[in-house]
Structure 1
Amino acid sequence: MSATTLTPTAAAQPRLRLGLWLETLAAWTLALAWAAPLLYALWAAIHPTGYATRFELFAPLTLDNFTAAWNAAPFPRYMLNSVLLVTFVTGCQFVLGTLAAFVFARSSSRWAGVLFAIVLVQLMIMPDMLIVENYRTMRALGLVDTVVGIGLPYVASAFGIFLLRQTFKQVPKELEDAARIEGCGTFGILWKVYVPLARPTYLAYGLTSVSYHWNNFLWPLVITNTVETRPLTVGLAVFASTDQGIDWAIISAATLLTSAPLLLAFLLFQRQFVQSFMRAGIR
């Protein structure tokens, strides 16, 4: 019986090793494909202009491209606008998403399920399809060419509501009952029980939301007209299109300045980011 048990396992080991090797190879291939543009931008940014399109092992290094990019366009203003935008949008999404997710997670009414299904319909609509109507709305409200006008159409997120609802549904009902016995009201239970247990989800969704709105280009391009309100993505595109000729070294440096905050944030919180999505199972 021992031989019968061990034989299939021994026979399966080569296939398991082959599968693991193929998975590792695929992961490295995808990682290199993702990193190739970033590595090229880094190479072009830290070398003089003439070396942006040719690779030499002992090419001279320089940081002048970053200084030139920073001084060639009002990047401090662009960065401030992007920070204000993602702070405004993410903050509103956290508040509205938390309240809606709590209701959808704990309500026993059949109408809650219907309303939640209607909210999920938003996931099927591409934001770019609503650009014309959103622009008309922002113009009627007098919010064209403002940071608030860029972020207002995104303050409620169906994806954020869905993710938080799935997390809240995993919170044991006994914790809520214990909090009520201790004298907590509805908002007290939400703030002291549900929100702390959902911190990994808030972190993961916050990174997702910040990344999307930090990199969003089309809608900010449509709604903004001046330097005072343009975010980094639009400012970078204007900078690249109005520059005399195409200096790939300076453009690469400007691109790295734009993407550096997001890369740093992901590297710092990548473990929490991955774990929170793994825990948000559908129930």
Structure 2
Amino acid sequence: MRDGFAEPAVPARRPAGRRGAGLEERASPYAPTGTWRLLEGTGAILLAVLWILPLLFAFWAAFHEAEYTTRLQLDAPLTLENFRRAWDAAPFARYFLNTTILVTLIFLCQVVLGTLAAYAFARFEFPGRGIAFALVLVQLMIMPDVLIVENYRTMSQLGLVDTIPGIALPYIASAFGIFLLRQTFKTIPRELDDAARVEGASALQILLKIYVPLARPIYIAYGLVSVSYHWNNFLWPLIVTNSVGARPLTVGLQVFAGGDQGVDWAVICAATLMTSAPLLIGFLLFQRQFVQSFMRAGIR
């Protein structure tokens, strides 16, 4: 007591050890243990080593003479002759132009068609919507290589064999892009639609001014996947093209695959690095955006 008055009761504090124990007791039973994290880290390191070894070999062979491609000698002289020989052996300028036009055309078509289809599936009610979306999902389960014969017959009937539009046409609509954007659009509150309609906005204006800006991280993630896939695509362009005028980089590399004098790995590695350089440089420049976009895509 103090001055005749009883002091207010102070709630007893839980000991620090007990509080920590309580947190541990409430921890998720599925939380990774130290052993599991060690295994994850070891597996990631092994995968990174397996991925980077061929790339290191390509760099070594491309910047050294052919005699050093099969043996490691630290004092071996560097050279750019392999890049000059590779550039002179094939019309790389034309291949780069064809590939740039191809991936740009495919990506723009996929964005436009995928956005419109995803918005319709996410927000509009129309007869057969469930069946139509199920057909889109079925496309995710079919490998593109299965349709090569029918696609070639179609391109032949349309007169698009050995043309860049003939390469791009089977890919201008992407089931994966439609599904990804549809799932993203469904997470956007409908109250934004109602507020925009009160202001007099049309459905297209709502799509362009609300949905597309909010889905920007998803567009970045999908754009990186689409450009990378079609930049490296080989089988379909090989089948549908016959001349240099329409061939992309990956098909152009086959001129280095062999010859009467055998395989020159130094020149092949130089040509491969020139082909993959735009993707490597782009990834290094936009690595943070690449990771963040996929993280946001996964969270949604």
Calculate the TM-score normalised by the size of structure 1: 0.92
Select which of 122, 135, 143 maps to 1:105: 122
Say if 2:138 is the partner of 1:125: no
Select which of 184, 194, 200 maps to 1:177: 194
Structure with the greater alpha carbon radius of gyration:
2
**Deviation string, structure 1 residues 8-59 (Cα, Å, up to 9, x no partner):** 959x9xx833333322222111111111111110111111111111111221
Amino acid at match of 1:260: A
Counterparts of 2:53 and 2:85 in 1: how far apart (Å)?
Answer: 24
Q: CA deviation at 1:7?
A: 6.0
Counterparts of 1:162 and 1:278 in 2: how far apart (Å)?
Answer: 17
Select which of 217, 228, 231 maps to 1:200: 217
Counterparts of 1:214 and 1:76 in 2: how far apart (Å)?
Answer: 15
Select which of 224, 231, 245 maps to 2:262: 245
Select which of 139, 145, 148 maps to 2:165: 148
Q: CA deviation at 1:145?
A: 0.4
Relative distance call for 1:4 and 1:110 in structure 2 (3 A) is: farther
Identity of aligned residues (%): 65
* Superposition map of 1:34-53 within 5 A: 34-53=51-70
Calculate the TM-score normalised by the size of structure 2: 0.87
Counterpart of 1:116 in structure 2 is 133
Counterparts of 1:274 and 1:247 in 2: how far apart (Å)?
Answer: 37
Q: Aligned residue pairs: how many?
A: 280
Q: CA deviation at 1:198?
A: 1.1
Counterparts of 2:299 and 2:181 in 1: how far apart (Å)?
Answer: 11
Counterpart of 1:228 in structure 2 is 245
- 1:101 aligns to what SS in structure 2? helix
Structure 2: stretches of 5+ with no match in the other structure:
1-13
* Superposition map of 1:212-227 within 5 A: 212-227=229-244
Q: CA deviation at 1:266?
A: 2.1
Q: CA deviation at 1:129?
A: 0.7
8 Å contact 2:109–2:172 — kept in the other structure? yes
What is the RMSD of the two structures over their aligned residues, measured on CA atoms?
Answer: 2.2
* Superposition map of 1:65-104 within 5 A: 65-104=82-121
**Deviation string, structure 1 residues 156-175 (Cα, Å, up to 9, x no partner):** 11001011111111112122
Structure 1: stretches of 5+ with no match in the other structure:
none
Q: Which has the higher helix share?
A: 1
Counterpart of 1:23 in structure 2 is 40
